[in-house]
Amino acid sequence: MTILITAGPTREYLDDVRFLSNASSGKMGYAIAQAAVEAGHEVILVSGPVALGRPAGCEFHSVESTAEMYDLCLAQFPRCAGAIGAAAVCDYRPRERRSGKIAKSGQALQLELVETPDILAELGRRKEHRWIVGFALESQNPRENALRKLHAKACDAIVLNHPSAIGTESTSAELIDSSGATVATWRAGKIDMARRLIAWIDVNLARPLGRGNRAT
Tally the C-alpha atoms within 13 A of residue 24's C-alpha that lie toward its C-beta.
27
Nearest CA among 199, 202, 205 for reference residue 186: 199
22 assigned to active site: yes
* DSSP assigned state of 12: E
- Say if residues 128 and 81 touch (Cβ distance below 8 Å): no
What backbone torsions phi and psi does residue 136 show, to the nearest 5 degrees?
-125, 110
- Say if residues 134 and 153 touch (Cβ distance below 8 Å): yes
d(CA 182, CA 171): 17
d(CA 19, CA 168): 23
Burial of 171 (0-12, 13-18, 19+ CB in 10 A): buried
> Over the Cα atoms of the chain, what is R_g?
18
Which of 22, 141, 145, 161 is catalytic? The answer is 22
> Which residues are tagged catalytic?
22
